[in-house]
Amino acid sequence: MSQKLEQFKKIMAEVTDLGRAEALLGWDQQVNMPRGGAEDRGNILETIAGLMHDKFTSSEVGELLQDLKPYAESLDPRSDDACLIKRVAHDYEKQVKVSTQWVAEFAKETTTSQSVWEEAKANNDFELFRPHLEKVVELRRQYADFFKPWDHVYDPLLDDFEPGLKTKEVKDIFGKLRPQQVELLKAIAGKPVIDDSFLHIPYDEKGQWDFGVDVITRFGYDWNRGRQDKAVHPFTTGFGIDDIRITTRFDPERAASALFSTMHEGGHALYEQGINHTLARTPLATGTSMAVHESQSRMWENLVGRSKPFWKFFYPKLVKLFPSQLGNVSLDAFYKGINKVEPSLIRVEADEATYNLHVMLRLELEIALMEGSLVVKDLPEAWNARMKDYLGVVPAKDSEGVLQDVHWSTGSIGYFPTYALGNLVSSQLWEKINQDIPNLEAQIEQGKFDELLSWLRVKIHQHGAKFEPQALVKEVTGSTITPEPYIRYLKTKYSEIYNL
């Protein structure tokens, strides 16, 4: 059996290597590649995706799994080998139903689509992007069809990003969450508007970059195993546990954009850098799910980065960097400014009280596209109508509306719900962290994050993808994903800021 296990691990290492090569080309596409290179890049990624799929779904892997699954049942269920066999079996049983032709076509089309999306967004031209999005939607419907019968057409897509979670479960969670967030927004709407004008004036780009680098260095980001670059839409990607890269972006009208993007992506990267090296070159050397991954980025960005203790330490440093912009702005005014609640057009710039509504809007649209009750040509109108319904604002142009996110161009339909779920998980973890580290607030006020990072390393990061997300969250917090801690967090925070 040991020989079969070693052969199994060898194949998984090769599949993982191909995936890392694919990721490297994806990173280069968004950071360095000239726009004219999209077709060539699509051809390369088409080839790699096909090779990876063929190798992973080969009869050899199927036969090895048949032998190894009974063996895995004799092992400690928490052992690396047992978890690897279980995870690969889940993915194999799913991917063996998908044709290699579809995988290759999807890789090529989404590479082109992403490049066209960048141009369409820059030029506010939805019609340029529309035929590519229509093709992506068609491909994702075809993908769902591979898994019939299902309870809902969206289930196989959601499972790609949140293994084991069903569309009905997400709807139930959001159904509990939405009315409470709407109630909070109504209470805040009756209060005086917070002045954040100091955030909407020019800030030197280099100063913003340097400050963000200092912050995530103190968080624990290892620059010997990572780097930061600029991209149209910030993202994190890795080519192994020891090469985890982040990107950020600068908005001349939003001074805080780059900082919070850097903290957000830094949170993702800290997760990946903390995975146990025993999982290297296996499918377990990644986050357990996108919701858990998002819990890490949102925790560092918001629960840490938008907290008053954090700014008690960092605000004097920021004022020193930008004296003309912030010299006359008090810490309290700055803290309230970066936490101002105001329905807005852009998801990644949204405050914590409205952010989830952006995600719920996208979930509804994605489900409608997959069900066929909405067609792509009507998407801008549907987007704007839901923005008015959910947030009371309507985009003046598609680049601030239906074109603002990169995800549909990359085929990531099924991804968006994990953003809001990540917010919920972050608050569940935060309550537990504060029980285990009762002086955490004092540590943050001193710019110390070692104990916080160590807790996350032990409880979350080291495990990689060994455990299903709901099981991991329940093990650490005592409950599966639930909205109550997040609602408590929002009400406590904004009651203090807005005197509710």
Residues 168 and 118: their CA atoms lie apart, in Å, by 33
Burial 460-488 (b: 16+ CB within 10 A, else e): bbebbbbbbbbebbbebbeebbbbebbbe
Which one is catalytic: 265, 272, 301, 364?
A: 265
DSSP 228: E
pLDDT at res. 253: 75
Cα–Cα separations (whole angstroms), residue 232 to 25, 235, 249, 261, 380? 16, 9, 6, 12, 21
Across 100-117, average pLDDT = 93
Decide: 269 and 246 in contact? Cβ < 8 Å.
yes
Residue 171: count other Cβ atoms within 10 Å of its Cβ.
Answer: 16
Instruction: Locate 200 and state its tokens.
Output: 């909407």
Identify whether residues 488 and 436 lie together within a single domain: yes
Decide: 211 and 317 in contact? Cβ < 8 Å.
yes
What's the pTM value of the predicted model, to 2 decimals? 0.92
Work out the pLDDT band at 232, boundaries 50, 70, 90. confident
Identify whether residues 100 and 182 lie together within a single domain: no
Q: In this structure, is residue 463 part of a structural domain?
A: yes
Instruction: Locate 381 and state its tokens.
Output: 């109108």
pLDDT at res. 38: 86
CA nearest 230: which of 248, 254, 257? 248
Across 15-30, average pLDDT = 94
Chain segment 476-497, per-residue pLDDT in tens: 999 999 999 999 999 999 999 9
Single-letter code of the amino acid located at 114:
Q
pLDDT at res. 361: 94
Q: What's the number of domains the chain is made of? A: 2
Instruction: Locate 457 and state its tokens.
Output: 């390393």
Q: In this structure, is residue 230 part of a structural domain?
A: yes
Q: What DSSP string describes 7-27?
A: HHHHHHHHHHHHHHHHHHHHH
Residue with tokens 């990072």: 453
Chain segment 11-20, per-residue pLDDT in tens: 999 999 999 9
197 — alpha (psi -120 to 50), left (phi > 0) or beta?
A: alpha
Last residue of a domain, one of 93, 119, 149: 149
Burial of residue 335 (CB within 10 Å: 0-12, 13-18, 19+) is middle
Identify whether residues 219 and 142 lie together within a single domain: no
CATH code for position 475 = 1.10.1370.30
Residue 439: count other Cβ atoms within 10 Å of its Cβ.
Answer: 10
Identify whether residues 305 and 172 lie together within a single domain: yes
Per the prediction, the chain carries an average pLDDT of 95
pLDDT at res. 2: 87
Within 13 Å of residue 58, how many CA atoms lie on the same side as its CB?
A: 14
Q: Which domain holds residue 363?
A: 167-498
- 272 labelled catalytic: no
Identify whether residues 66 and 142 lie together within a single domain: yes
Q: In this structure, is residue 159 part of a structural domain?
A: no
Across 208-215, average pLDDT = 95
Q: In this structure, is residue 160 part of a structural domain?
A: no
Q: In this structure, is residue 13 part of a structural domain?
A: yes
Residues 271 and 463: their CA atoms lie apart, in Å, by 10
Identify whether residues 175 and 93 lie together within a single domain: no
Residue 243 has pLDDT above 80, yes or no: yes
pLDDT at res. 61: 96
β-strands 244-248, 236-238: how paired? antiparallel
Higher pLDDT pick, 253 / 458: 458
